[in-house]
Amino acid sequence: MGRPKQYDRTELLDRAVELFRRQGFNGTSTAELVEELGVNRKSMYAEFGSKQELFEATLEHYNDHHLTRVLSPIEASDAGIEAIQQAFTGYASASEGWFNGRGCLMCNTAVERGALDPASGRFAAAYLDRINEAFRNALGNARYSGDLGEAADVDELAGFLTSALIGVAASIRAEAPPEQLYATARVVGSLLDAHRPVAQG
């Protein structure tokens, strides 16, 4: 029988998330991965196969765990306009702390690798689709509940909100001033308020 693993795969992927988030794929060497993960090179390759395969496993892990925590409020069956507003405000608030300069691993990858690496491109496309569907979900719920006017175009609003959120995530990576991101959240709130039904006097 082989010796039992002296490491936890999920913990390794969590560590890889943070290293790739800080430095990107191209900026991260194999030696840095070995040091950050706390395993020897042989164990890392035995578990993941290559740096590319480790990166892809990291993206999948990020999507399943980290991104799900962020998007679950607008993916929820009862999500509505308030959940959308809170998503933007939450990103702005996160920019004031540890998240500043790191941003979203999936957004960073879309910018750095999406057009260069087919695997990264597929993850980036799925990421954009997931965000867009989450916004469509929340907007659709709002329309069903009467909190969004019938004239509002759900598809166009979802597309705009997706682009806006990606822009916010990229701005956090670039260490934009938090007030700039709070301003974005306020404008999004004003836009959504403008699409609420007009109260009948």
Mean pLDDT of 79-84: 96
Determine the Cα angle at 176 with ends 170 and 182, to 5°.
90
Q: Return the higher-pLDDT residue of 117 and 76.
A: 76
Binned at pLDDT 50, 70 and 90, residue 169 comes out as: very high
Q: Is 24 left (phi over 0), alpha (psi -120 to 50) or beta?
A: left
pLDDT value of residue 1: 43
Percentage of the chain surpassing pLDDT 90?
A: 68
Residue 114 to residue 4: CA distance in whole angstroms = 37
How far does the chain reach from its first CA to its final CA, in angstroms?
A: 78
Other CB atoms within 10 A of residue 90 CB: 14
For domain 58-194, say whether CATH 1.10.357.10 is its number: yes
Q: Rounded to two decimals, what is the model's pTM?
A: 0.88
Residue 114 to residue 122: CA distance in whole angstroms = 8
